[in-house]
Amino acid sequence: MAYIELNQVTKRFGSVVAVDRMNLQINQGECVAMLGPSGCGKTTTLRMVAGFEDLDDGEIRVGERIISSKAKRYYLPPEQRNFGMVFQAFAVWPHLSVYENVAFPLRIRKLPREEIHARTEEALKHTNLYKVAQDSPEGLSGGGKQRVALARALAIRPDVMLLDEPLSSLDPHFREEMRFEIKDLQRRFGFSILYVTHDQSEAMALSDRILVMQSGIVQQVGTPLEVYASPVNRFVFEFIGLSCFIETRLDQNGMRIGDTPYAWPENIAPPVELVLAGKGLLAARPTEIDFVADGGIRGTVMRKVYLGETIDYRVLVDGTEVRVQKTRRTPGPAIGDNCGLRFSRPHWYPVG
């Protein structure tokens, strides 16, 4: 049974529908990452779950509780939802010690002194801040300050953790380190996470499922592998990971790229509806395109760049640049060479 439920949740700002009839279920202890371009409705959804925005339609439940319902005219204030929140901005108070930063929300709740001390120490230990408890957070690195924000959210023992771009202001080293720390804390404490991010690698590393949004509408919800390997439409395919597209003309005998005809290679035949439409987009991941000596879709290597373990090729196919990525140990063509491309896992989408 779902622990967090969003049923037909809608939010409008004037004539703009920021979130359109969203349905989402999150299980106890599950991490769901929300991905999508800026303005797609990710943060608005998070703010409605947090209680910072009211709904224009629909209902949100957590466990047995209704926390927002337009039909029932019910709205539970944020401070009564028992949710931990961590934002992109570190939001630490420099005039308070690390200990007092973490204890602050507990003092606001007027908990007994002994309980405040016990919860604060527990949160500091689990976020590796115990040794700097009496220091000012100003002396900490960006990762350290974000740990303070995490510890403060943990101290209230939240039912749900809401994270809005929490790592985007950190450098790559601290960002990777904090990903693992957040996942470890989730396993240790068992709370559910709703995680908003622009960073696909973060979403892949942290989440049990990924929700992809566009213009306020959910496009796909699935495991990281499902969303990456089996995208439901062109938007998801293009947004998640690297992608290449070649426009083709289609008929019963094969396809034509520019003026060059091709018979259907193995595993590349498009859906019947695209053949009937007479055109389609052949799509592939750069890592799922191979160089072949004979046959394949012909092109010319225009660029070859070494990226450590990967070599990134740009191949011109009748005016369209196709990106190919192979390991540096895989033999490949040189700049200026004519080559053949074989698509190992092609996808097809309508043109336009």
CATH code at 291? 2.40.50.140
Q: What is the DSSP string of 92-131?
A: --TTS-HHHHHHHHHHHTT--HHHHHHHHHHHHHHTT-GG
Cβ atoms of residues 26 and 2 within 8 Å: yes
Residues 340 and 208 in one domain: no
Residues 169 and 86 in one domain: yes
Residues 274 and 229 in one domain: no
Of 188, 222, 237, the residue at which a domain comes to its end is 237
If DSSP codes are grouped into helix, strand and coil, which group holds residue 236?
helix
Residues 227 and 283 in one domain: no
Residue 155 vs residues 51, 151, 276: alpha-carbon distances, Å: 20, 6, 60
Residues 210 and 86 in one domain: yes
Of 212, 237, 262, the residue at which a domain comes to its end is 237
CA dihedral over 120, 122, 123, 125, signed as positive or negative: positive
Residue 317 parent element (H or E): strand 310-317
Of 203, 237, 271, the residue at which a domain comes to its end is 237
| Burial class (CB within 10 angstroms; exposed 0-12, middle 13-18, buried 19+) of 193 | buried
Domain that holds residue 267: 242-349
Average pLDDT of adjacent 10-residue blocks, the chain of 352 residues:
90 95 94 93 95 95 93 92 85 89 92 94 90 90 86 90 84 79 86 91 92 96 94 94 93 89 78 93 94 91 94 95 93 94 92 85
This prediction has a pTM of 0.87
Residues 300 and 224 in one domain: no
Residues 42 and 135 in one domain: yes
Residues 252 and 119 in one domain: no
Q: What pLDDT is recorded for position 266?
A: 66
SS3 of 14-52: the string is: CCEEEEEEEEEEECCCCEEEEECCCCCCHHHHHHHHHCC
Q: What pLDDT is recorded for position 184?
A: 86
d(CA 90, CA 125): 19
Residues 302 and 211 in one domain: no
Q: What pLDDT is recorded for position 201?
A: 87
DSSP secondary-structure letter at 170? Answer: S
Residues 324 and 207 in one domain: no
Q: What pLDDT is recorded for position 313?
A: 97
The CATH number that applies at residue 84 is 3.40.50.300
